[in-house]
Amino acid sequence: MLAVASHFVGDRNPTGFHGPWCKAFINMIARKTGHFTNASLRAVDALHMGYRVKSPRPGDVAVMRSHATFFAGYGGRGFLGLGGNQSHHRVTVSSYPLSRVIAWIRLR
């Protein structure tokens, strides 16, 4: 998951979706790696793309109230997320507090 997503680091919206596109990026990478996607573009709907896990592994999805990103490891303010529509509306690795995470999702 992270290997495919990392090819887009620095890009401005490779999804082509006009609007908040973090979930569109999750869908795009899931599709490219043969995982389940759902049509929703709401970040919180990433909760329905797999199953909840207590301890994330790299490539799992961190679902927050208004953002979803791939877990890339611990660091920064809590964890590092590789995702779309992050710093300056690009695909980046950004730091997030663990307290923002609603659930960690392992994609089906």
Overall domain count for the chain: 1
CATH at residue 24: 3.90.1720.10
Spell out the residues 6+ positions from residue 73 whose beta carbon is closer than 8 angstroms to its own.
Answer: 58, 79, 80
Tell me the average pLDDT of the chain. Answer: 97
Q: Is the pLDDT of residue 6 over 90?
A: yes
* pLDDT per position as a tens digit, 45-89: 999 999 999 999 999 999 999 999 999 999 988 999 999 999 989
Give the whole-angstrom CA distance, residue 31 versus residue 33: 5
Beta bridge pairs of residue 106? 51
**Please, what sign has the CA dihedral across residues 36, 73, 75, 101?**
positive
Helix H or strand E segment including 78: strand 78-83
Choose among 39, 28, 36, 38: nearest CA to 85: 28
Q: What's residue 76's pLDDT?
A: 86
Backbone angles phi, psi at 30, to 5 degrees: -60, -45
Global pTM? 0.96
- Encoding tokens for residue 92? 């980046």
What mean pLDDT is predicted for residues 36-41? Answer: 94
Give the structural domain span for 35: 2-107
Q: Is the pLDDT of residue 98 over 90?
A: yes
Choose among 14, 48, 41: nearest CA to 27: 41
